[in-house]
Homo-oligomer: A and B are copies of this chain.
Amino acid sequence: MRILKDRILAEGRVLPGNILNVGSFLNQQADIDLYNEIGREFARRFSGERVSRILTIEASGIGIACITAQYFKVPVVFARKFRTKTIGNDLYGAEVSSYTHGVDYTVVVPRSYIKREDSVLLIDDFLANGCALEGLVSLTRAAGARLAGAGVVIEKGFQPGGRRLRERNIRVESLVVIGGMDAETGIRFLDPVQPTEARTVIR
């Protein structure tokens, strides 16, 4: 997605610890026109899939999920992060280990918000080690719902999350995939990858 790559190159800041700060347009500050481009692209990629609900995780996925939902005409549910492992009977919960922040937490959604007959599309801004998306997959499975796939804005292709999800035959559509990044040498993009394809550098 050229418009997104250009924006990442123009405004993204590579920080120590493999962190890419795109807060000026993708999360803490949201360019709503770009969000609409992102939503349209997710709708195009998943146009052959039945989607009845979009599931994301607080906080930075919420805005993208809500704008995207307009193109699918479905409700959005966001999972909350809890620090406790004890959850009520009316909630689905899944434990998540965050490599980035070094903490474990539990993601929860009320049981009544995901139904067995739902086909759930996961949406998130980043995919790196995949912990957050794994948690959302677990919540979807716990509800007995169908998983339509996962739409990710930026995948860090040099971290294992995308590979792990695809190995479980989960359809992951990443709008851009970063092959490597470094404060000195900048950001290198990969073509969107399928598990069996060779990766092509197209920076």
Query: Which residues of A line the B interface, CB within 8 A?
Result: 23-24, 28-32, 35-36, 58-59, 62-63, 65-67, 69-70, 73-78, 80, 109-110, 112-113
Check A24/B63 contact, CB under 8 A, given A32-B76, A75-B32. no
Q: Out of B23, B36, B76, B113, which one reaches A63, CB within 8 Å?
A: B76
Q: In the complex the two chains form, what is the Cα distance from A110 to B13 in whole Å?
A: 14
Smallest beta-carbon distance A117→chain B, Å: 16
Q: Out of B29, B109, B112, B113, which one reaches A76, CB within 8 Å?
A: B29
Number of copies: 2
Q: In the complex the two chains form, what is the Cα distance from A31 to B63 in whole Å?
A: 13
B62 touches A110 (CB 8 A): no
Q: In the complex the two chains form, what is the Cα distance from A69 to B110 in whole Å?
A: 28
Q: In the complex the two chains form, what is the Cα distance from A153 to B65 in whole Å?
A: 20
Which one of A65, A66, A113 has the greatest number of beta carbons of chain B within 10 Å? A66
10 contacts across the A-B interface (CB closer than 8 A): A24-B113, A28-B113, A30-B69, A30-B76, A31-B75, A32-B74, A32-B76, A58-B59, A62-B63, A63-B76
A28 touches B109 (CB 8 A): yes
Cβ of A76: which chain B residues have Cβ within 8 Å of it? 29-30, 32, 63
